[in-house]
């Protein structure tokens, strides 16, 4: 099997599991307990927080451990909007993850005015569109760093500066960017950022929310006052340690992965009649290649590929099973029938050129087989 669905989840790294293991056993304590066993767990938790903060160029006090990217997105958008004194206007892009879009819709039901920014055919938010949308009563802008379906990387530095000029907090969903792109929060100019562990080789069920010191934010989970009152509930120490360890294992050059990605894209476009790349040709994640195949059916292509030993997806795992076309592709201007022919290939630095050559060969055969079905 060749696994090409790392945007959905990545395998747990052995080093991460080994770092976590003691906190399932001898260091099992509750970090809120004031005795030796609990304090040992607390020290591990705070070291993990410091390690994550260092990876983001942040302060440890600005890091909150959560259950994953979805919770972090919800907490950032609802929490900042509910605490903001300046008004009830929120701006998001049309291709955000459902965790962002549905959080904004929830605020709309509470009386907030939600502006959804259009994107171009490459999935890019244009700075002029954000400039036009910003108002005196805007409370938050949330625009993802990189798209989970088509891999397009947004101009977060430029967009955040536009928001900052108006005094508006800027949140970015960096779930897909983590492990590939620089997450330095000062360089990006963001007041809040969401990251999920299982996209980095950490376990599922752990994530972080960065909120810059001084940013007004209302916690959504109340109870025991854990995480300095920002998120109540006994912390998952083992997973937090795993998250921090995964961060230490990220980094390195993307050049070889980009070269393999571009060779794969060129091969698919040359060998598969009618194939069209989705997302920006260059400003895309190193391990992301996505296509539409007009006149076919994306789900049928996936079944053909899996039968041939290639595992990939038609888009976001969070929308799996939906009969609706991708909201990302329709926002980018693809009509419904074409959007439903989408296939996404996402891979890591350990994916070989041979793996991608095999995938391209089998994709051409799969599309031909599906096309022959009429």
The full length of the chain comes to 374
Closest to 61 in 3D by CA, of 239, 211, 263? 211
104, 90 contact by CB (below 8 A): yes
Cα separation of the two ends of the chain? 28
C-alpha 245/C-alpha 21 separation (Å) is: 12
Per the structure block, which two tokens stand in for 47? 């070291």
Question: Collapsing DSSP states into helix, strand and coil, what is residue 156?
Answer: helix
Residue of 318, 320, 336, 352 marked catalytic: 318
Question: Collapsing DSSP states into helix, strand and coil, what is residue 92?
Answer: strand
Q: Which residues pair with 215 in a beta bridge?
A: none
C-alpha 317/C-alpha 323 separation (Å) is: 13
CA distances from 86 to 108, 135, 137 (A): 16, 10, 6
Centroid of chain to Cα 16:
20
C-alpha 303/C-alpha 324 separation (Å) is: 18
Closest to 55 in 3D by CA, of 142, 155, 182, 166? 182
Is 312 part of the annotated catalytic residue set? no
Catalytic residues: 318
């Amino acid at each position: 099997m060749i696994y090409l669905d790392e945007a959905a989840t990545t395998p747990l790294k052995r080093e991460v599991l080994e770092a976590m293991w003691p906190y399932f056993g001898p260091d099992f304590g509750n970090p809120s307990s004031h005795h030796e066993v609990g304090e040992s767990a607390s020290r591990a938790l705070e070291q993990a927080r410091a390690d994550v903060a260092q990876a983001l160029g942040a302060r440890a006090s600005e890091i909150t451990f959560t259950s994953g990217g979805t919770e972090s997105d919800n907490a950032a958008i609802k929490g900042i909007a509910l605490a903001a004194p300046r008004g009830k206007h929120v701006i998001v892009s049309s291709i955000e993850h459902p965790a962002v879009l549905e959080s904004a819709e929830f605020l709309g039901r509470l009386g907030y005015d939600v502006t959804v920014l259009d994107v171009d055919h490459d999935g890019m938010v244009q700075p002029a569109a954000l400039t036009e949308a910003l108002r005196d009563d805007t409370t938050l802008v949330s625009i993802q760093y990189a798209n989970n379906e088509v891999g397009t990387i947004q101009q977060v530095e430029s967009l955040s500066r536009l928001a900052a000029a108006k005094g508006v907090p800027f949140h970015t969903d960096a779930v897909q960017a983590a492990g590939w792109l620089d997450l330095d929060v000062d360089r990006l100019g963001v007041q809040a950022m969401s990251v999920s562990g299982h996209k980095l080789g950490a376990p599922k069920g752990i994530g972080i929310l960065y909120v810059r010191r001084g940013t007004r934010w209302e916690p959504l989970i109340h109870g025991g006052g854990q995480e300095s009152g920002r998120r109540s509930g006994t912390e998952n120490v083992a997973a937090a340690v795993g998250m921090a360890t995964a961060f230490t294992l990220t980094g390195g050059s993307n050049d070889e992965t980009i070269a393999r990605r571009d060779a794969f894209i060129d091969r698919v476009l040359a060998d598969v009649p009618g194939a069209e790349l989705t997302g920006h040709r260059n400003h895309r994640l190193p391990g992301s290649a996505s296509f539409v195949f007009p006149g076919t059916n994306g789900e049928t292509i996936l079944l053909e590929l899996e039968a041939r030993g290639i595992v990939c997806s038609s888009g976001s795992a969070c929308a799996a099973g939906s009969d609706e076309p991708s909201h990302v592709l329709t926002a980018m201007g693809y009509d419904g029938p074409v959007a439903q022919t989408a296939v996404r290939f996402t891979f890591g630095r350990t994916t070989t050129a041979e793996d991608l050559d095999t995938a391209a060969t089998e994709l051409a055969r799969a599309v031909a087989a599906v096309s022959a079905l009429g």
